[in-house]
């Protein structure tokens, strides 16, 4: 039996992904579609309900994004949020006009009529508004269920057609009881039962992977990070020895990283893991290179070269597996007339599919990051893999400033291992976004014992962040910083000074290069 599904049409709102996440938190599967998806496609998807997101456009503009009008004849409950409710009013015969003043920020919502959408809520709640247009006349058959200071139609519904609209954003944390409103729509209106879970996701995914792959062979570039590790575990559960994982030891890894990956995946999961030891190749390509972007390109190109050689050794391979996540998929879709600005272009590893003519297998492409961690836990992956801090693709190559040398890498590995060990011991590792060392090719005078030293500097970078878009330096206990500094200076040959990076992003970046 297929899980129930709620479709979210994206009209360019910054909160579209938040809506989808809130639905999944209720154990109901959600899927984001472009705003102009056809009603027939939605019917074929077997959706249980439909949500129209907010967006930056005005329905009063002729070129504003509009959905397929046939969605209103699908016979499933519909909820319009912000721009979505204005679309409903405008397209069904009501009237919308530019508001005299933009309603942005907190407002007070007052319930004026009983509604399944607002069932069991207090008579007044604080809600979050963000709109410049407002409805001034409802379409036939609609009635008001709630109002705010600036809108007498802040909550509307058509009881017979089960079409609802909210002029505020229930999905954001600023709205009181927002989750309850969405739950009411899912369970009281759409009749969902909350049957979506990681256990049945695994069951369906295993079945889908087996059907998709058949008897062909799959290769996956395993980095040891969260996404590739969970993808490897899921695919291996489905097809076993038909999966070969390739781990590239580029000489830019952290202390004992290769051994840890081998132990987990080869020994504990009994996977076919091939390790390509190519440290000399990568270091040779990086000789004399100081520019950060040039280093990244050299490392990326060398990775593609090594990966291609590894696939030739494996032999007959049909599929390339990758740990692509749902936000990557959403952000990468560029549709004619899409009202949302394209956030970024998501590139698969080095353009490998095009060069190698391999079919892509992306079993995590419908999951958010937190869901991937839940999936990994169900599959038996340890906490230190699932909650590993972000690590740059070029590895320590961009944490050694300037030219990368083996001497510098060895110093950085040992210093970084001490930092990570102390962060874990002090129970701070999983509380910050990232904590790492940076090697500075700067020598300073010091005194150790009775001798003068002239050694290198290591910087500590410890930041707090929610999504890496912005970040601030973490205020760590002074005793912990002192202990880390003392250990690095005393235990790592070649270092006589440790500094702390106290800059935020912006204007700085998290990584130094």
Cα–Cα distance for residue pair 17/8, rounded to 1 Å: 9
Query: Average pLDDT, stretch 117-144?
Result: 90
Do residues 322 and 349 make contact, with C-beta atoms less than 8 angstroms apart? yes
Query: Average pLDDT, stretch 10-15?
Result: 89
Query: Average pLDDT, stretch 125-135?
Result: 83
CA angle 424, 426, 431 (to 5 degrees): 65
Can you tell me which residue has the tokens 């204007």?
Answer: 507
Which one of 162, 171, 176, 371 is the catalytic residue?
171
* Predicted pLDDT at 413: 98
pLDDT greater than 60 at residue 363: yes
CATH number for the domain whose boundaries are 5-189: 3.40.50.880
Q: Which two tokens stand for residue 115?
A: 């509604």
Q: Which residues are documented as binding site for ATP?
A: 223-229
Share of the chain above pLDDT 90, in %: 76
pLDDT greater than 90 at residue 14: no
Query: What Å distances lie between residue 473 and 217, 470, 506, CA to CA?
Result: 45, 11, 11
Query: Average pLDDT, stretch 388-404?
Result: 95
pLDDT tens, residue by residue, 407-452: 999 999 999 999 999 999 999 999 999 999 999 999 999 988 778 8
Work out the pLDDT band at 351, boundaries 50, 70, 90.
very low
Work out the pLDDT band at 346, boundaries 50, 70, 90.
very low
- How many helices (H) and strands (E) are present in the chain, helices listed first? 15, 18
The answer to whether 217 is a known catalytic residue is no
pLDDT tens, residue by residue, 24-65: 999 999 999 999 999 999 999 999 999 999 998 999 998 999
Q: Which residues are documented as binding site?
A: 223-229
Work out the pLDDT band at 15, boundaries 50, 70, 90.
confident
Do residues 127 and 175 make contact, with C-beta atoms less than 8 angstroms apart? yes
Helix axes 226-239, 198-213, angle to 10 degrees: 70
| Partners of 440 in the β-ladder | 457
pLDDT greater than 80 at residue 193: yes
Can you tell me which residue has the tokens 């410890």?
Answer: 462
* Predicted pLDDT at 100: 62
User: How high does pLDDT run on average in the chain?
Assistant: 90
**Rg over CA atoms, the chain:** 27
CA angle 259, 265, 266 (to 5 degrees): 80
Listed in sequence order, the residues at least 6 apart from 225 whose beta carbon sits closer than 8 Å to its beta carbon are: 323, 388, 390, 391
pLDDT tens, residue by residue, 132-147: 788 999 999 999 999 9
pLDDT greater than 80 at residue 347: no
CATH number for the domain whose boundaries are 198-386: 3.40.50.620
Measured in whole angstroms, the distance separating CA 250 from the mean position of its chain's CA atoms is 26
- Counted residue by residue, the chain has a size of 513
Which of the 8 DSSP states describes residue 505?
Answer: B
The answer to whether 478 is a known catalytic residue is no
Domain with CATH 3.40.50.880 in the chain: 5-189
Cα–Cα distance for residue pair 163/79, rounded to 1 Å: 6
Query: What Å distances lie between residue 54 and 59, 145, 182, 344, CA to CA?
Result: 11, 20, 15, 21
pLDDT greater than 60 at residue 353: no
* Predicted pLDDT at 158: 97
* Predicted pLDDT at 342: 30
Prior bond to 266 cis, omega within 30? no
- Give me the half-sphere count of Cα atoms (radius 13 Å) on the Cβ side of residue 192: 30
Cα–Cα distance for residue pair 244/236, rounded to 1 Å: 9
Do residues 48 and 192 make contact, with C-beta atoms less than 8 angstroms apart? yes
pLDDT greater than 80 at residue 486: yes
- Of 137, 189, 135, 182, which Cα lies nearest the Cα of 161? 189
Looking at CATH, the fold of the domain delimited by 399-500 is given as: GMP Synthetase; Chain A, domain 3 (3.30.300)
The answer to whether 346 is a known catalytic residue is no
pLDDT greater than 60 at residue 350: no
* Predicted pLDDT at 334: 35
Can you tell me which residue has the tokens 């996440």?
Answer: 21
Q: Please provide residue 509's backbone torsions phi and psi, each rounded to the nearest 5 degrees.
A: -105, 170
Which one of 169, 177, 371, 513 is the catalytic residue?
169
Query: Average pLDDT, stretch 453-478?
Result: 93
Q: Ramachandran region of residue 321, left (φ > 0), alpha (ψ -120 to 50) or beta?
A: beta
Q: What is the pTM of this model?
A: 0.78
* Predicted pLDDT at 107: 87
pLDDT tens, residue by residue, 248-272: 999 999 999 999 999 999 888 999 9
Domain with CATH 3.40.50.620 in the chain: 198-386
Query: Average pLDDT, stretch 179-208?
Result: 93
Share of the chain above pLDDT 70, in %: 92
Work out the pLDDT band at 344, boundaries 50, 70, 90.
very low
Classify the C-alpha dihedral 457-463-469-470 as positive or negative.
negative
């Amino acid at each position: 039996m297929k899980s129930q599904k709620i479709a979210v049409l994206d009209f360019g709102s910054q909160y579209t992904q938040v809506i989808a996440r809130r639905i999944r938190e209720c154990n109901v599967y959600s899927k984001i579609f472009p705003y102009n998806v056809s009603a027939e496609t939605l019917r074929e998807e077997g959706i249980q309900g439909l949500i129209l997101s907010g967006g930056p456009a005005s329905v009063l503009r002729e070129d504003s994004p509009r959905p397929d009008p046939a969605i209103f004849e699908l016979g499933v409950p519909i909820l319009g949020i912000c721009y979505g409710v204005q679309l409903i009013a405008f397209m069904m015969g009501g009237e919308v006009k530019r508001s005299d003043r933009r309603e942005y920020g907190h407002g007070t919502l007052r319930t004026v009529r009983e509604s399944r959408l607002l069932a069991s809520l207090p008579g007044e709640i604080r809600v979050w508004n963000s709109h410049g247009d407002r409805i001034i006349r409802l379409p036939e058959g609609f009635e008001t269920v709630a109002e705010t200071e600036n809108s007498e139609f802040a909550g509307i519904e058509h009881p017979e057609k089960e079409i609802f609209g909210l002029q505020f954003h229930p999905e954001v944390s600023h709205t009181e009881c927002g989750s309850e409103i969405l739950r009411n729509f899912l369970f009281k209106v759409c009749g969902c039962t909350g049957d979506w879970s990681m256990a049945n996701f695994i069951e369906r995914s295993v079945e889908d992977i087996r059907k998709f792959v058949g008897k062909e062979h799959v290769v996956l570039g395993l980095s040891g990070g969260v996404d590739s590790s969970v993808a490897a575990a899921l695919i291996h559960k489905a097809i076993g020895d038909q999966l070969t994982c390739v781990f590239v030891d580029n000489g830019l890894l952290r202390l004992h990283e290769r051994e840890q990956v081998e132990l987990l995946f080869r020994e504990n999961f009994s996977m076919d893991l091939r390790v390509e030891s190519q440290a000399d190749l990568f270091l040779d390509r990086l000789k004399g290179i100081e520019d950060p972007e040039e280093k990244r390109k050299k490392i990326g190109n060398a990775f593609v070269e090594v990966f291609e050689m590894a696939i030739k050794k494996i032999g007959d391979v049909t599929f390339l597996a990758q740990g692509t996540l749902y936000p990557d998929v959403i952000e990468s879709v560029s549709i004619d007339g899409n009202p949302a600005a394209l956030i970024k272009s998501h590139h698969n590893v080095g353009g490998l599919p095009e060069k190698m003519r391999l079919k892509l297998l992306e079993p995590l492409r419908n999951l958010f990051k937190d869901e991937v961690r839940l999936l990994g836990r169900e599959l038996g992956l340890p906490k230190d893999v699932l909650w590993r801090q972000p690590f740059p693709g070029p590895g320590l190559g961009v944490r050694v400033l300037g030219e990368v040398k083996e001497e510098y890498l060895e110093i950085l590995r040992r210093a970084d291992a001490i930092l990570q060990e102390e962060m874990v011991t002090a129970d701070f590792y999983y509380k910050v976004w990232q904590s790492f060392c940076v090697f500075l090719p700067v020598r300073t005078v010091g005194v150790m014992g009775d001798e003068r030293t002239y050694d290198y500097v290591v910087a500590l970078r410890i930041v707090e962040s929610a999504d890496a878009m912005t970040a601030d330096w973490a205020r760590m206990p002074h005793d912990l910083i002192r202990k880390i500094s003392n250990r690095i200076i005393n235990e790592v040959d070649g270092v006589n000074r440790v500094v702390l990076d106290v800059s935020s992003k912006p204007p700085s970046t998290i990584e130094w290069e």
